[in-house]
Chains A and B, each alone.
Chain A
Amino acid sequence: MILTNHHLASRIQASFIEMNDAITLRKVVTNQSIRVENLDVFIEDQHILKDINLTIPEKSITCIIGPSGCGKSTFLKTLNRMHDESPEVKISGKVFVDDNNIYGPRVNVIDTRKKMGLLAQRPCPLPMSIFENVAYGPRIHGVKKRKVVNQTVIQYLQYVGLWDEVRDRIRTSATRLSIGQQQRLCLARGLAIEPEYILGDEATSALDPLSTKKIEELFVKLKAKYTVILVTHTLRQARRIADNIIFMYLGKIIESGPTEEFFNNPRKQLTRDYLSGSFS
């Protein structure tokens, strides 16, 4: 029994490494970065984001922190144009993704969103089987061949470490999974559309500590190939996994910088107050 398990594990390990290589080969991405210039966002008459200018370095984890209502989530939504659905949101400024302004004329919103894999606060599996959840993205983006779809699904389920847990019930409802498993499924689903960026909107705030740890480990693994941008409430999480920190307060960027520097030597008084817990 132990032998079989060990055998299985090593086989999975092998396929895992193989698959990682496959992804690296397939994704030849150059100049992945996000540059924001003079971004202002208004919701009705409220000025939510005020003159945001920043560059998000590629292939790293950038955490956006700040108290509730500071505009973190609003900012994240401007990156994949999810504000398009709300006519009361007015946006001015430029957001360059791979050197293309996504708010410029003649931009295909679908293509923009396809570049961004979004992981929401609460996992929201689609009303389909586990398999179809991951297969959905590739299918709507034109992957027809069953073999390719199957491979993609298995690859990404393995990538998020869910394959072994669900391989026997791949055709059952995604809702039967635990909430932590659902969140990993949502990550696999997002990865299956082959994005370049991963956006996480407090992606672990609904999860238990163990599931949180798994998702965090995945983020760290992901930064080898993707640019990861996370909004988080927990300073400790930011400190654990981020390479760079952006601190926002009342719609403005107060301070940003590499994690160590940010936490050890904050330059602004406001940052020091926030880090010491004077306000949250």
Chain B
Amino acid sequence: MDPAPENFDKLQKLLALKRHEQPPPGFFARFPAQVRARIEGHQRDAAPSWWHRMVESLDARPMLAGTYGLAVGGLLLLAVNFLIQPEPTPGFATQPQEKKEPVPALTPTNPATLLATTNFPPPSNGTPPSFLVNPGQGTQGTVIPASLTNRP
């Protein structure tokens, strides 16, 4: 719906006077050359980089863009796979392995040999003490049950 009609004649006449406002003399004669100089300046400044040229060429050929995307994705997957591998590939080792101190193997098979590594006195008969081979026997060979009545 159009707004209600109103008399704007004088206002319109007043506004129409603004058509007479003009830029300084010669402005429009110089203007196209100024625009042209600006365009040429932009063209000089914005010589296309290899990236822009590549994007433009891919823009025109979607198949090539897809292939390029797949190739980049594949390379990324390879790189991620290489980074998360648990053991280094021998051919790719770049740092020398540190020499580690040899750890003595703890393989005592004989209780006497094991005892020899402690401060316990060696058994006289060459057999380990009974408390070692029979836990719970104690040094006396008897078990004293815990009882309040045995209190001295």
Query: Are A and B interaction partners?
Result: no
Question: Which residues of A does B touch, CB under 8 Å?
Answer: none
